[in-house]
Structure formats: C-alpha cells, structure tokens
Amino acid sequence: MSEENLKSMNDLVAMCKRRGFIFQSSEIYGGQGGFWDYGPLGVELKMNVKNRWWRAMTLRRNVVGVDSAIIMHPETWKASGHVDGFIDPLVDCKNCKARFRADQIDLSASCTNCGESGTFTEPRDFNLMFKTQIGPVEDSAATAYLRPETAQGIFVNFNNVQGTMRQKLPFGIAQIGKAFRNEITPGNFIFRQREFEQMEMQYFVKPGVQMEAMEEWKQARWKWHLDNGLRSDHLQWEPHGPDNLAHYADAATDIEYKFPHGWGEMEGIHSRTDFDLSQHQQFSGKNLNYVDQLDGNKKYIPYVIETSVGLDRTILALMCDAYRLENAGDKENERVVMKFHPKIAPIKFAVMPLMKKPQLEEVATKLFADLQENYLGEYDVAGSIGKRYRRQDEIGTPFCLTVDFDSLEDNSVTVRDRDTMTQERISLDKVKSYLAERL
C-alpha cells in the first residue's frame, strides 16, 4: 500500500468544502477574502480542540478562565501599543494597483502581479485594527476597535480575577475568543484570516522566576500539540533572537508547524515582563500591584508568561497532518483518509445497516441511539457499503459499525477500523465498551 501526505493546500480546501468542514464566507455573494465559515464537521472539530485546550488549562488548580468583551475601551489599545505600533507599511503598484506589505517584497524588483518595474508607491503605514464606532454619532470620540488579540481582556481583568478567586502567584487566566486583524495579505486557507480565534493564557509570576515558568509552559504546550496527534517531525521551535524580540519581552519562542506552504507560526510563548500590567496601570490610573503575603506584603507588578495559540491554525495543522492519500492512481483502492486522533475526530462512529431493510434498520437504529448517548455519530444507510466507508474515511471517523443479516442471528456487528481497514465481529452488548476503550 502506498501512502502520501498532503501535497497541496488546494486538495485540503476542496475536501473541506466537499465534506462540510469549512466554506468560503458569504460564498453565494462571491466570498469575502480572509473570512471563512466552519460547516457542520468543522465546528465539531473546532469544539473538540477548544475543549481540549480549555481543560488542559483550567484543570490546573491555578488557571481560571474569562470571556471578555470583543469591543473594549479604546484606551486599552493605546496602553497595549496597538494604536501606535500595530502597523504594517504598505506599497501599491501604480500600474495594476495591487497592494503589498513592504517587508514582504523586493521594492527594487518588478511587480509580482503585473510585471511592471519601478512602479511602487512610497510605503504608507496601515493599522491592522478594524475600526468601529460606539453609539450613533460618527465622531472620533466614539471610535472603538475590534480586538486584535484576546490577551488585553485578561490584563484589564487582573484585579477582578485575582481578588474574586483569591489567587496567589503564580496563577494564570485563560480565554478563548475571536480576534480581528485587517490583514493586507490574507491567504493560505485559514492560516491568515481577518477574523480568527485565539486561545490565550497569561500566567502571572513573581519577577525573577519567569524563566522557570517559561520552560514549564514550553514543555506543556509542546506536549499538548503532540497529544492532539500532530507528528513531532512536523513541529519545530522558532526562538526569537535579539533582532525580532519585542522591546518589552525578555524571551520568546514560537511553535511552528510544517504547512504545505512552509513552516509557519502556530503558537507563541512569550515572557512579557511587567509591560502590559504596567501600561494599564499608567493609562487607567488604577493600582495593579500584587501584594505578596508570602514575602512580607511586598507590592509589585507581576511578570507574565503568555501562551498564545491560534485555534484556526491549530485546526489547519491538524487537518494537514491527518490527511493521507492512499494508493494514488489505483482506481479501486485509492482513498483519502483523515487520520485524526480519535479524541479530536468530529464524528466518532458510524452505524450502517447493510441494506435498507426494516429488520436491519431496527437493530441499527437502536445501536445508534445507544451509542449517541456518549458520542457523536452518523447513521448512514444510503449507497453501497464501499462508498459509505470512503465517506467516513474522508471525514476521519475512527469506527464504522455494520449491521448485516448475520447480526440478526448472532447479535454481533462488524467493526471496521479506519486506519487499518481491518474488520472484526463484536457482540452488540460489547460495542459500547469497545468504543470507550479506544476513544
């Protein structure tokens, strides 16, 4: 048997549309660049990944969650540096009007879109934050922004959370939510979008111990990606050197995944010192000091280790990693199979009566209802069994359970394994425990 990994993003985009994972946003109007919609299977996959992250964070005794508003007080973004600093320099081609990020092209070369040379405008600054306004009056006083990251909703709630949850350092605050960036060059499917979801955690520590905490979180986050099923040779660390380290950070590294278009950042783990809380203290005039009862009631602003992972990029990595084309070119035996880890697979099982016959359907419907109490499954009775298996392979369903005429005699079903395609007979009353062991 031959097996190939995903070669081109187009194959994945096509599969996602064909099977209901991800659709172009507003497709019937021609779509909108940089925006995507998750379909029925995509949203299940997303929920599974979100839940795994949420549990990995909040099942620790010292990490709690928040869900803060997307539109925050505009001062937030002055304090965080986004109003002045969240800027990409842009150039336009005077000939074809194509727009580029100045740092991503060679300004002395010809336009990569139309081929004209010497046609670029001077670089102009472009702020990546989406603007909106609060209330009916369109004046500058009412200007607000859609958040470009979820982290600031955590920082501004530092006092609220610390006080109400009686947390002592070190402790963390986690949040999952939408973020918006008016990216100039969205692309590579859901890798770079204008609306996306982040899963961020800020871990507050006593100044001086941040490097230990950073090490701890680096290990934890790497392991999380492996536990989701990503192959370790498709992951790498990308530490920030002195030239690309943010001015306030004292250490930073990214976890990169080997996407079909190349290595790309999936998660950042950053030691941000006391920068964010100090800025908010200064801009808000509110005291954000922590009183350390274990150290003679000393007052100080905690240091922060941030773990910031893109939910969509994690999903993209998981899909790229799971995608296999087996027996390419061999019409009979070719199949696309999404080898998702069973824990993240959107559909856990499929029940298939061999044929549309009342006796078979009676057993199958009962089995389906029984299993569906614990796991999300599909009931499929349409088409040849081979076609039905192919569909389940392509959406990554780990187990298919077939009810045939023998089932009526021996009270057993055939369980087919997605990856090995091996089949075994399991007695109906054992199916639940069989799945429980493997899911």
Please give the residue ranges that form the binding site for ligand ATP (CB under 6 A).
Answer: 149, 181, 183, 192-193, 196, 198, 265-268, 308-310, 312-313
CB 363 within 8 A of CB 325: no
Rounded CA separation 146/160 (Å): 22
Tell me how far, at minimum, the Cβ of 359 lies from ligand ATP, in Å: 50
Looking at the Cβ atoms of 267 and 380, the one nearer to ligand ATP is 267
Tell me how far, at minimum, the Cβ of 264 lies from ligand ATP, in Å: 7
Tell me how far, at minimum, the Cβ of 362 lies from ligand ATP, in Å: 47
E-strand ranges in 76-221 read: 87-92, 99-101, 124-127, 131-133, 143-145, 171-180, 195-205
- Which residues, in sequence order, are bridge partners of residue 379? 351
Closest CA to 339 of 421, 400, 401, 395: 395
Residue 57 has φ and ψ, to the nearest 5°, of: -85, -60
Q: What DSSP element (H or E) covers 401?
A: strand 399-403
CB 288 within 8 A of CB 301: yes
Tell me how far, at minimum, the Cβ of 181 lies from ligand ATP, in Å: 5
Rounded CA separation 260/187 (Å): 13
Name the percent of the chain in helix, strand, coil, to the closest 5. 35, 30, 35
In the structure, how many helices (H) and strands (E) does the chain have? Answer: 13, 24
Looking at the Cβ atoms of 316 and 345, the one nearer to ligand ATP is 316
Looking at the Cβ atoms of 181 and 416, the one nearer to ligand ATP is 181
- Which residues, in sequence order, are bridge partners of residue 201? 174, 307
Closest CA to 301 of 282, 315, 321: 282
Tell me how far, at minimum, the Cβ of 336 lies from ligand ATP, in Å: 25
Looking at the Cβ atoms of 171 and 196, the one nearer to ligand ATP is 196
The answer for residues whose C-beta is within 8 angstroms of residue 70's C-beta and 6 or more apart is 146, 147, 177, 178, 180
Q: Which residue has the tokens 């199949």?
A: 335
Looking at the Cβ atoms of 310 and 346, the one nearer to ligand ATP is 310
Tell me how far, at minimum, the Cβ of 144 lies from ligand ATP, in Å: 20
Rounded CA separation 324/2 (Å): 10
Tokens of 196: 């996306």
Tell me how far, at minimum, the Cβ of 118 lies from ligand ATP, in Å: 29
Looking at the Cβ atoms of 167 and 175, the one nearer to ligand ATP is 175
Q: Which residue is nearest to ligand ATP (CB)?
A: 310
Tell me how far, at minimum, the Cβ of 432 lies from ligand ATP, in Å: 37
Tell me how far, at minimum, the Cβ of 244 lies from ligand ATP, in Å: 10
Looking at the Cβ atoms of 33 and 383, the one nearer to ligand ATP is 33
Looking at the Cβ atoms of 313 and 416, the one nearer to ligand ATP is 313
Looking at the Cβ atoms of 306 and 404, the one nearer to ligand ATP is 306
